Amino acid sequence: MMKRYIQAGLVGALLAATFFVPLSSPLYAEAATGVFIPFGGIITKMLTCNEGLLLYLGPPTPFPVVVPYGSTFLMGVFRPGGWVMGLAAGFSPCTIGPKIVGGGLRVIQVPINFIGTSL
């Protein structure tokens, strides 16, 4: 009888481990963003492009982001030193006239799902 309780306890512990171990693994602890790329950080530098504003971000995601002119809202102020975060989809260069600036294909451009600033 005692052997049966021990076996049931071991099976229960195994089932609990198979449920909790994948949840604590870094392979599964990611943002559920789908096709969108999360970005965020402090704005270190700004440029104007043909498509919108090119924001150079610092950590935690230090890469340039292109924000189209039509996606800014009333209080969405972009300035160096401010923090920004959001989701974007797609990669495209930023152009100033005929020249490509801002890191080539590493620049994220439209469509931006959402963006927020710290004022």
Per-residue pLDDT of the chain (119 residues; tens, 9 = 90+): 678 888 888 888 877 777 666 555 555 555 656 677 788 889 999 888 887 888 888 888 777 778 877 766 666 678 889 888 888 776 667 778 777 776 554 555 545 667 777 76
Same domain, 80 and 24: no
- Say whether both 58 and 98 belong to one domain: yes
Query: Are both 65 and 112 inside the same structural domain?
Result: yes
Q: How many domains does the chain have?
A: 2
Domain assignment of residue 76, given as a range: 37-117
Q: What pLDDT sits at residue 44?
A: 92
The pLDDT, as a whole number, for residue 97 is 77
Q: Are residues 99 and 44 in the same domain?
A: yes
SS (H, E, C) the chain: CHHHHHHHHHHHHHHHHHHHHHHHCCCCCCCCCCCCEEEEEEEEEEEECCCEEEEEEEEECCCEEEEEHHHCCCCCCCCCCCEEEEEECCECCEEECCEEECCHHHCECCCEEEEEECC
